[in-house]
Amino acid sequence: MQTNISPASQPSMEAPKGGNFRKIFRIFLPFFSNAKSTVGFIIFCIFVVIAIFAPIIAPYDPSAAIHVPNLSPTADHWFGTTNTGQDIYSQFIYSARSTMVVGFGAGILSTIIGLIFGVVGGYRGGLTDAILGFITNIFLVMPGLALMIVIQAYLTASSPYLTGLIIALTGWAWGARVFRAQTMTLANRDFILAAKMSGMSSFRIMVTQICPNMMSIIAGNIMFATLGAILAEAGLAFLGFEDINSISWGTMLYWASNNAALIRGAWWWFIPPGLGIGLVGLSLVLMNFAVDQITNPRLKVQKRRKNHGSKAARA
């Protein structure tokens, strides 16, 4: 891709110049380096498949109130039906879709905003850094959930996608801070100086030199931002601040708790959505374990030291 010297501390970036397939394989390789991230990756893939093929997997239209209401799980309705006669299993399947889209959309968007603020600030320094850093700090200290609730209050009944947008716009600051710190350590390395000497524009240096060299941090940030976005979206939907006719796990929990599913003992209504959120979240946390092992060499070094050679350090 480029011909500069990559810093040696980033093993994932030392990809040999093989075919495209090899490159892609290399990206996913860390996920299979330990059991935790492998499990995470598999759970994640299952939910991606569910989200993509929701119309095929789900037996019924999720919002059609055409079935017998208040059924407990049966062969026809695996998770029973709602009090208005909607099939809960179909709702569960379709919800995976909006949750994944909103989660990843918001996660990626907030990472991009964070990158802009962090990398530009960290690379430019001076006044630019002071201004961008100040805005970042403001967003960092603002109470996120409360701010989102207030925005939702004025918007009234937004769609899940709008909620995702709000989450991204309010929650990028943490990433920006991490990116800024990392950019500052990279900015004085030899390969950046070499790029500067060769007359590369600042913008090009940031995009082609700095960003690729913190790919693992970016990946980790995307995962955490996505997890945060999924939980935030679910929370807002549960509070009823999202369009209550949308299909998402949070909205399902909203209807379940507002129709006394708890008191009727209808556990098949409120357990699956939470479990769905939890499993997607868990897969992200587990996959992040792989990223963490790469980005934080100290976690690795320590194991070796404390084991006193009783067992070879494993990644």
Residues binding another protein (CB under 8 A): 36, 134, 137-138, 141-143, 145-147, 149-156, 227, 231, 234-235, 238-241, 253, 257, 262-263, 265, 267, 270-271, 273-274, 277-282, 284-286, 298-299, 301-303, 305-307
Residue 194 Cβ, how far from another protein at the closest point, in Å?
Answer: 24
d(CA 60, CA 82): 13
Whose Cβ is closer to another protein: residue 15's or residue 285's? Answer: 285
Instruction: For helices 88-124 and 35-52, give the axis angle rounded to 10 degrees.
Output: 120
d(CA 226, CA 173): 14
Residue 226 Cβ, how far from another protein at the closest point, in Å?
Answer: 11
Residue 168 Cβ, how far from another protein at the closest point, in Å?
Answer: 17
Residue 65 Cβ, how far from another protein at the closest point, in Å?
Answer: 23
Q: Are 47 and 96 in contact (CB under 8 A)?
A: yes
Q: Are 206 and 144 in contact (CB under 8 A)?
A: no
Whose Cβ is closer to another protein: residue 4's or residue 295's? Answer: 295
Whose Cβ is closer to another protein: residue 59's or residue 297's? Answer: 297
Residue 57 Cβ, how far from another protein at the closest point, in Å?
Answer: 23
Whose Cβ is closer to another protein: residue 4's or residue 248's? Answer: 248
Whose Cβ is closer to another protein: residue 50's or residue 166's? Answer: 166
Whose Cβ is closer to another protein: residue 96's or residue 280's? Answer: 280
Residue 23 Cβ, how far from another protein at the closest point, in Å?
Answer: 30
Whose Cβ is closer to another protein: residue 131's or residue 194's? Answer: 131
Three-state secondary structure along the chain?
A: CCCCCCCCCCHHHCCCCCCHHHHHHHHHHHHHCCHHHHHHHHHHHHHHHHHHCHHHHCCCCCCCCCCCCCCCCCCCCCCCECCCCCEHHHHHHHHHHHHHHHHHHHHHHHHHHHHHHHHHHHHHCHHHHHHHHHHHHHHHHCCHHHHHHHHHHHHCCECHHHHHHHHHHHCCHHHHHHHHHHHHHHHCCHHHHHHHHCCCCHHHHHHHHHHHHHHHHHHHHHHHHHHHHHHHHHHHHHCCCECCCCCCHHHHHHHHHHCCCCCCCCHHHHHHHHHHHHHHHHHHHHHHHHHHHHHCHHHHHHHHHHHCCCCCCCC
Whose Cβ is closer to another protein: residue 67's or residue 121's? Answer: 121
Residue 305 Cβ, how far from another protein at the closest point, in Å?
Answer: 7
Residue 301 Cβ, how far from another protein at the closest point, in Å?
Answer: 7
